[in-house]
Structure 1
Amino acid sequence: MAGDTDNPRLWEGADFYAAPVGSTAPTDTITAWAAAWKAAGLLSEDGASESRDQDSTDHYAWGGILVRTTRSKHKRQLKVTCLEDNLVVFGLVNPGSTAVTATGTTTRSIKVPTADPRAFGLELRDGGITKRRVIQKGEVDEVGEVSLSDSELTAYELTITIYPAADGTLYTDITDDPQAVVP
């Protein structure tokens, strides 16, 4: 049998962060996230998921021989479900809205969402292995249906569209996983 049974990852813990675009992110797996990076709190046990979408066009020579495939409109998204209704999650779910607390009572004015690009960070842990994903620019462009009931947790499913940097970088993964070491 080829392979090593120590290499598959089961991410047992995770944290999700949001920060203003341009915030300095950690460059290793040990340094704490800077104050600009705000944690969203508890996440759903379903974890996070990444999706990709792109158009491709096949080009054929005379006689039906495939000679090339071109790709365009690449889109990548990250989906995460937040279980807390804190200020960070409120801002991601309702960009452009406001919240004010006076004499122990908070009033939230929910407005039509506005564009609100942010930087995002996802930290995953499997025992002593850590993986950090830093998205320098993205935006919550979809919020799933929110249940308000006595039988289900209120959860905020966020779909974040990732915008590439000028050099085409979508995100950076930083890990101390030995199997990721480049020889």
Structure 2
Amino acid sequence: MAGDTDNPRLWEGADMYAAPVGTTAPTDIVTPIAATWKAVGLLSEDGASESRDQDSNDHYAWGGVLVRTTKSKHKRQIKITCLEDNLVVFGLVNPGSTAATAAGVTTRTVKVPTSDPRAFVMELVDGGVTKRRVIPKGEVEEVGEVTLSDSELQAFELTITIYPAADRTLYIDITNDPQAAVV
């Protein structure tokens, strides 16, 4: 059998953090995430998923010979499900809304969502292997249906669209995974 059974990853733990765009991002996997990055809290055991979407156009020479394919409109998204209804999740789900607490009572005023790009860091752990995915700019584009029930956890499924930087970078992965090493 070709391959190494130590190479497949089963991410046993994960955290997602959000901060204002331009916040200094982690550059390694050992330095604790700075307090300016706010954790979204518990995530669903279903994990996260990444999707890609793009258009491609085939170009043919006379006689029907394929000579080139061009790609455009590339879109990358990450979907996570948050299990907590904390202030960070509230802000991601309801951008432009407000919350205030007085005398132990919190009042949330939910408004029509506004554009609110954020920076994100996802930290994944598999035993001794850690990966931090730094997303310099993204935005919650879609919030799934929220169930209010006595038999299911309330959860917030967030679809985050990743915006590329001027140099076309979508995100940066920082890891100590030996199979990712450039040799």
TM (norm. structure 1) is: 0.99
Match of 1:117 in 2: 117
Q: Structure 2 matches for 1:149-168, cutoff 5 A?
A: 149-168=149-168
Cα distance in 2, alignment partners of residues 152 and 85 from structure 1: 14
Q: Structure 2 matches for 1:59-74, cutoff 5 A?
A: 59-74=59-74
Match of 1:139 in 2: 139
Match of 1:171 in 2: 171
Cα distance in 1, alignment partners of residues 145 and 71 from structure 2: 33
Alpha-carbon shift at residue 34 of structure 1 (Å): 1.0
Match of 1:86 in 2: 86
Q: Give the letter for the 1:178 counterpart.
A: P
Aligned length: 183
TM (norm. structure 2) is: 0.99
Cα distance in 2, alignment partners of residues 18 and 34 from structure 1: 11
Deviations 1:70-116 (A, max 9, x none): 00000000100000000000000000000000000000000000000
Match of 2:33 in 1: 33
Q: Give the letter for the 2:175 counterpart.
A: T
> SS at 1:114's partner residue?
coil
> SS at 2:145's partner residue?
coil
> SS at 1:142's partner residue?
strand
Structure 1 gaps, min length 5: none
Q: Give the letter for the 1:132 counterpart.
A: R
> SS at 2:24's partner residue?
coil
Structure 2 gaps, min length 5: none
Alpha-carbon shift at residue 15 of structure 1 (Å): 0.2
Cα distance in 2, alignment partners of residues 140 and 36 from structure 1: 19
Name the Cα RMSD after superposition: 0.4
Q: Give the letter for the 2:43 counterpart.
A: L
Q: Give the letter for the 1:9 counterpart.
A: R
Match of 1:48 in 2: 48
> SS at 2:141's partner residue?
strand
> SS at 1:72's partner residue?
strand
> SS at 1:152's partner residue?
coil
Alpha-carbon shift at residue 26 of structure 1 (Å): 1.0
Check if 1:24 corresponds to 2:24: yes
Cα distance in 1, alignment partners of residues 73 and 37 from structure 2: 30
